[in-house]
Amino acid sequence: MRLPDKLGVAVVGLGVGEQHARGYLATGCCELRWLYDLDANKARSLAKTLGAGRVASRYADLLEDAGVKLVSIASFDEAHFGQVLQALQAGKHVFVEKPLCRSLAELREIKRIWSIQPRLKLMSNLVLRAAPVYRFLRQEIAAGALGKIYAFDGEYLYGRLDKITQGWRQAEENYSVMLGGGVHLVDLMLSLTGERPDSIWAQGNNICTAGSAFRYHDFVTATMHFPSGLIGRITANFGCVHRHQHVVRIFGTKGTFLYDDQGPRIHESRDPEVPAVPLELATLPASKGDLIPDFVRAIQHDTDTKVQTQHEFDIISFCAAADLALASGKKIEVEYV
CA-CA distances (angstroms) from residue 75 to 13, 18, 37, 71, 265? 4, 11, 8, 12, 36
What pLDDT, on the 0 to 100 scale, is given for residue 167?
82
List 164's β-bridge partners, or say none. Answer: none
Are 311 and 190 within 8 A, CB to CB?
A: yes
- Do domains 7-127+289-305 and 128-285+317-333 share one topology? The answer is no
* Separation CA 119–CA 105 (nearest Å): 23
Residue partners of 71: CB distance under 8 A and separation at least 6: 9, 10, 12, 62, 63, 83, 87, 92, 93, 94, 95
Q: How confident is the chain (337 residues) per 10-residue block, as mean pLDDT?
A: 75 96 97 97 96 96 97 96 98 98 97 96 97 97 97 96 88 91 97 97 96 95 98 97 97 98 97 97 95 97 97 98 96 97
Q: How far is CA 12 from CA 42, 59, 85, 97, 284, in A?
A: 11, 8, 14, 10, 24
Residue 214 · residue 166 · CB < 8 Å = no
Contact 87, 94 (CB under 8 A): yes
pLDDT (0 to 100) of residue 5: 83
CA nearest 232: which of 250, 220, 219, 245? 250
Domain layout of the chain by residue ranges: 7-127+289-305, 128-285+317-333
* CA pair distance 241, 111, nearest whole angstrom: 38
Per-residue DSSP letter, 87 = H
Q: CA–CA separation, 327 vs 111, rounded Å?
A: 25
Residue 4 has a pLDDT of 60
Of 239, 242, 262, 259, the closest CA to residue 251 belongs to 259
Between CA 78 and CA 32 the distance in angstroms is 25
Residue 233, phi then psi, degrees to nearest 5 = -145, 125
Mean pLDDT of the chain: 96
Calpha distance 265→277 (Å, rounded): 5
The pLDDT value given to residue 1: 38
128-285+317-333, CATH topology level: Dihydrodipicolinate Reductase; domain 2 (3.30.360)
The whole-angstrom separation of Cα 312 and Cα 63 is 23
For residue 45, give the H/E element and its range: helix 40-50
Q: Which backbone phi and psi does 85 adopt, to 5 degrees? A: -60, -45
Q: From CA 326, how far away is CA 202, in angstroms rounded?
A: 5
**Would you say domain 7-127+289-305 falls under CATH 3.30.310.10?**
no
DSSP character at residue 199: E
- Cα 308 to Cα 101: distance, rounded to the nearest angstrom: 16
β-pair partners for 40? none
